[in-house]
Amino acid sequence: MTLQPLYPRATWQRTAIMSALENAGTFMSAQDLYERLRSEGARVGLTTVYRTLQSLNDRGEIDVLHVAGKEAAYRRCGTPVHHHHLVCRSCGRAEELESAAVEEWARESAQSHGFTAVTHTVEIYGLCGACASGGD
Amino acid sequence: MTLQPLYPRATWQRTAIMSALENAGTFMSAQDLYERLRSEGARVGLTTVYRTLQSLNDRGEIDVLHVAGKEAAYRRCGTPVHHHHLVCRSCGRAEELESAAVEEWARESAQSHGFTAVTHTVEIYGLCGACASGGD
DNA sequence: ATTGGTTTTGACAATCGTTTTCATCTAAGC
DNA sequence: GCTTAGATGAAAACGATTGTCAAAACCAAT
Ligand SMILES: [Zn+2]
Ligand SMILES: [Zn+2]
Ligand SMILES: [Zn+2]
Ligand SMILES: [Zn+2]
């Protein structure tokens, strides 16, 4: 029997993007990552960064956040289970949050109104301690 | 003493946009409203629709929803107090939701992590009964 | 190692929602 | 009515993201 090919293929770009995001720990946009990678000498294309982030998100390996007028921001989270975020508006730092009560409320609200195929978005935004004091 | 000027000025465009949204009851994008107004014979410009929705939102008279890859959607809600939405992904119909528990959870989570200037977004998406059965 | 079929890359163009421009129009106050 | 600052809208500009496609990289099988 012949081996199945590996998807997606292991390219150094994919690895570089993933580890840059992992190192950052914060939410970062495709452009942020692109600039950081270039400044470190990695010669990746912006298109590739977009594509890779999208594919990682499709596979559930990273989380994405869509804020009003801003670029989509991605983060490599510590847990693969469903959770939400407390995000610093200024630096992108994030805490992972879980709440059985909120999940229950969402499910119950939808059900009692006859809605099906339910999903939800729950995000909290603020200024982290560091940014509130000096940083900004 | 001279009277203060009225802002924003009362134009028929502003009135038409506001009442079209009020009638709809659902979340609608600028383009949706533009098309509906034009089809009713109202000769408004798309730019004006965008500007008016933005200004109404700034004044807190309408709510806005930003869904992943879609256009911003606006809705004239029944209450001026803080609330969230249970939105039909298909037709835009929405129920207004309130939960002291969720508000408390959000505030408490932020505080315990040292975050200030806190806001949050909480939206539930699904298929309403009508859309789930026949409509789509 | 070399080959060959397939996937991935990346410079560039295209898309699409939204904002800006700016000349013209108009409501509000005299 | 007259004045004028605010409002309108057609068209151009914008910015994030996606599509295109030829060249480069990968990998399983020789
Ligand atoms: Zn911060
Ligand atoms: Zn949840
Ligand atoms: Zn529906
Ligand atoms: Zn709330």
H/E element holding B65?
strand B63-65
- Whether residues A69 and A135 share a domain: the answer is no
Q: By CB neighbour count within 10 A (0-12 exposed, 13-18 middle, 19+ buried), where does A15 fall?
A: exposed
pLDDT (0 to 100) of residue A136: 55
Nucleotide nearest to A53 (CA to C1'): D17
**Domain of residue A114, CATH code:** 3.30.1490.190
- Whether residues B8 and B47 share a domain: the answer is yes
- Whether residues B73 and B88 share a domain: the answer is no
- CA A113 from chain center: how many Å? 31
Task: Evaluate whether B53 touches B62 at the Cβ level (below 8 Å).
Answer: yes
pLDDT surpassing 60 at residue A1: no
The minimum CA-CA distance between A116 and chain B, rounded to whole Å, is: 5
pLDDT (0 to 100) of residue B136: 55
Residue in B116, B120, B124 closest to A118 by CB: B124
- Of A58, A78, A98, the residue at which a domain comes to its end is A78
Q: What is the rounded CA–CA span in Å between residue A99 and residue A83? A: 8
- Of B56, B78, B100, the residue at which a domain comes to its end is B78
pLDDT (0 to 100) of residue B3: 67
Phi, psi of B83 (to 5 degrees): -160, 180
Other CB atoms within a 10 A radius of the CB of residue B42 amount to: 14
- Whether residues A48 and A114 share a domain: the answer is no
Q: What is the rounded CA–CA span in Å between residue B56 and residue B21? A: 11
Q: What is the rounded CA–CA span in Å between residue B118 and residue B93? A: 28
Low-confidence ranges of chain B (pLDDT < 70): 1-3, 135-136
pLDDT (0 to 100) of residue A8: 87
Whole-number Å distance, alpha carbon A24 to ligand 1 midpoint, is: 13
Residues A16-52: tens digit of each pLDDT: 999 999 999 999 999 999 999 999 999 999 999 999 9
- Whether residues A1 and A61 share a domain: the answer is yes
* B86/A contact by beta carbon, under 8 A: yes
- Whether residues A59 and A87 share a domain: the answer is no
Give SS3 for A105.
helix
Q: How many residues does chain B have?
A: 136
Domains in chain B: how many in total? Answer: 2
Is A43 near strand D, with its CB below 7 A from some atom of it? no
Q: What is the rounded CA–CA span in Å between residue B54 and residue B58? A: 6
pLDDT surpassing 90 at residue A4: no
- Whether residues A107 and A118 share a domain: the answer is yes
- CA A17 from chain center: how many Å? 13
Per CB-CB distance under 8 Å, the chain A contacts of B105 are 99, 101-102
Give SS3 for A3.
coil
Residue in A86, A119, A124 closest to B125 by CB: A119
- Whether residues A85 and A72 share a domain: the answer is no
Q: What is the rounded CA–CA span in Å between residue A74 and residue A33? A: 10
Which amino acid is it at A111?
A: Q
pLDDT (0 to 100) of residue B135: 58
Range of the domain at A105: 80-136
Residues A45-91: tens digit of each pLDDT: 999 999 999 999 999 999 999 999 999 999 999 999 999 999 999 99
Which amino acid is it at A114?
A: G
Task: Evaluate whether A50 touches A30 at the Cβ level (below 8 Å).
Answer: yes
- Whether residues A113 and A133 share a domain: the answer is yes
Residue in B66, B110, B122 closest to A86 by CB: B110
- Whether residues A8 and A44 share a domain: the answer is yes
Q: Which is it for strands B116-127 and B84-88: parallel, antiparallel or unpaired?
A: parallel
| Chain D nucleotides reached by a protein CB under 7 Å | 6-11, 15-20, 25-29
Q: What global pTM score does this model have?
A: 0.92
Nucleotide nearest to A10 (CA to C1'): D26
Q: What is the rounded CA–CA span in Å between residue A98 and residue A118? A: 18
Q: What residues contact A106, with CB distance under 8 A and at least 6 apart?
A: A118, A120, A122, B124
- Whether residues B73 and B126 share a domain: the answer is no
Of A100, A99, A73, the residue nearest A87 (C-alpha): A73
- Whether residues A25 and A74 share a domain: the answer is yes
Give SS3 for A82.
coil
